[in-house]
A = this chain, B = another copy of it.
């Protein structure tokens, strides 16, 4: 009896889930739903594709629906709408709007006896977990989150909107000396500039004013002005050859003290190095879909996050096996 999974939205994330399900012996992908013309979408594994509005017809054939749309426009509508019929899970990542999204999904789930899980991925997601564990274990301490080295899609897009830019790729890079200070047990106050640098690879249109492009990038408020930013002009061929991947990652630290005189310091570091940001997020989503299924089977309803999920629920092995082999 495998867990029946469906995907809503067949972009990078949806394809990542399709791939992750093939590595999960206890799961089976039964459908992909899309807002595009389904005849134009060919899935890698041959699983059938339907229009989004036909999902409801398949209600009884799906245990968990994994929503793979974007946080800006898709998920705020889709997750609550689908939670009416399905146990759902998404990777909603607009941190500031999580409480609002949670409330919307929670209300629909409770009314319909379904279970929803939101903001599952690595940040929010695995990074959030590690912040929670760190604070709980070392209440007297400081948190640090660094991102990178990795591609920021939003920043790359911002560069592409500058006049004269044909294409661009932006990397966020943690500052090595800042990492060293935290790892050595200092608890520095770090400014935005001290934590990360930004590196931009830009393809300029023919005849474009390179100096003007560079100036527009490094002074762009919110995106680049508060950082030490490097701009490198390269050809489209170089960009396609050397910067096609979407790697990312980062670290969450908890640095705290114990003892009656705060005499002992402890540093917890959780670090991710990811070749593919969307595929890792998809893998986290797929593992948590297993937990959604199990929690729903237990009769739980309402909205949950990674903070509500016991680790054993993610793993295909039984509690007994886990205690024996991995505890």
By a beta-carbon cutoff of 8 Å, the part of chain A in contact with chain B is 16, 19-20, 22-24, 44, 95, 98-99, 102, 119, 124, 126, 128-129, 131-133, 135-140, 183, 185, 258-260, 263-276, 279-280, 282-284, 287, 290, 305-312, 314-316, 319-320, 322-324, 326-327
Contacts and interface: CB of A to CB of B under 8 A. Distances in A.
A279 B276 CA distance: 38
Contacts of A320: 99
Given A119-B327, A320-B99, A274 B266 contact: yes
A258 B287 contact: no
Contact of A326 (B135, B263, B265, B319): B135
B319 A307 contact: yes
B315 A135 contact: yes
Contacts of A126: 133, 137, 268
B323 A312 contact: no
A304 to B, nearest CB: 9
A274 B309 CA distance: 27
Contacts of A138: 283
Nearest to A92: B327
A139 B307 CA distance: 21
A120 to B, nearest CB: 10
Contacts of A95: 327
Contacts of A273: 183, 185, 266-267, 269
B315 A132 contact: yes
Contacts of A315: 132, 135-136, 307
Contacts of A267: 271-273
Contacts of A258: 16, 19-20, 23, 276, 279-280, 282-283
A50 to B, nearest CB: 22
A326 B283 contact: no
Nearest to A276: B264
B314 A136 contact: yes
B322 A311 contact: no
A212 to B, nearest CB: 37
Nearest to A15: B260
Contact of A260 (B22, B128, B129): B22
A20 B141 CA distance: 13
A307 B322 contact: yes
Nearest to A22: B260
Contacts of A139: 23-24, 316
